[in-house]
Amino acid sequence: MHIIHNTIGVPKITQKDLDNSTSSFIVGPLPKGYGVTLGNSLRRILLSSIPWTKVTWIKVKGVTHEYSTLPWVKDSIIDIMLNLKWLVLAKNDIWVEWLKLNKTKSWKVTAADIKSSAWIEIINKDLYITEIDQDGLELDIDIRIEKWVWYLTQEELLEKEEDVEVLLLDTNFSPVLNVKYNIEKARFWEMINLDSLEMTITTDWSISPVNALKFSWDMLNSYFSIFNEESLQVEWQFISNVKELISREKEEVQEELEKETYTPIEIMWLSPRTLNALINWDILSIEKLTKCTETKLSSIKWFGKKAMTEIRSSLAERGLKLLGDD
């Protein structure tokens, strides 16, 4: 991290869920210019690089091309194809699978009518596909789903498809529908030229916005690791270690907590010799004294058995004891 974080601390991330598929994330404070650097990089990966499973082609019984129609079906084949592009599937590890839609009753046809294997979960089962006008007339569709990344056009799918009767769909595999980011000015004490990054992520419900963001960061980090070679020299004195910063912040919080529970050892009414010995060793509170072992106190100059007994007796009156005492 930038050396400026030694002053402003580790950036904080706050999350606000706007609805089931949209969340807003605010990251800051950041050094000037880093809001755009992170926001633009993450946005590109969110929209293009998350692999997911989508419909790539269909095969309709009795249909040879996408401009065909079935008299007993309300929608055209093109409209059915467009509707199936919105089919949302849960995350899975299957690269290629076939689903089946077969219906003969006169009624609306939805994604709930699609038959799939046990390891395929359809999320938006209320998705409208078409409507059958007459009972007894069959609508039979084979649906192929594939797991891939980014975008495949009909032309790209055609290159690897030998069946001439299938109807190919332009497919956007990303489960992220929209990403917006905005940079606001932030300040830390007298430093006023800092950035605050706000990202709003909307998905298709198959993945949560926070998991999409985590995946994108892991993807980005995997590329940055390419440059993490010993032969690539950087001016290390201008790089801030985030782990050290987090550890330091935790220590500061702990110190504040200890200050809040600070009880001076003077109220123990110890003998002047014992009290001075403790003060000279920077043991100024009862809380710090209870973290000392007998061995540590015995190493203090002029601290003998009488002083040890005096301390134990005074601590016992308060229901306390030295570290390591039974």
Give pLDDT tens digits for 141-175: 999 999 988 888 888 888 777 677 789 999 999 99
Q: Are 198 and 181 in contact (CB under 8 A)?
A: yes
Query: Do the first three CATH levels of 5-50+176-229+240-248 and 52-172 match, i.e. the same topology?
Result: no
Q: Is the pLDDT of residue 236 over 80?
A: no
- Each domain of the chain, given as residue ranges in start order, spans 5-50+176-229+240-248, 52-172, 265-317
The CATH homologous superfamily for domain 52-172 is DNA-directed RNA polymerase, insert domain (2.170.120.12)
Helices (H), the chain: 5-8, 34-48, 77-84, 154-158, 209-224, 242-260, 272-280, 286-289, 294-298, 305-317
Neighbours of 230 (CB within 10 A): 5
| 289 phi/psi in degrees, rounded to 5 | -65, -40
Give pLDDT tens digits for 194-233: 999 999 999 999 999 999 999 999 888 888 776 765 555 4
Measured CA distances, 294 to 12, 60, 273, 290 (Å): 42, 84, 18, 10
CATH number of 5-50+176-229+240-248: 3.30.1360.10
Q: Are 172 and 153 in contact (CB under 8 A)?
A: no
What totals of helices (H) and strands (E) does the chain contain, helices first? 10, 13
**Prediction pTM value:** 0.67
Burial of 127 (0-12, 13-18, 19+ CB in 10 A): middle
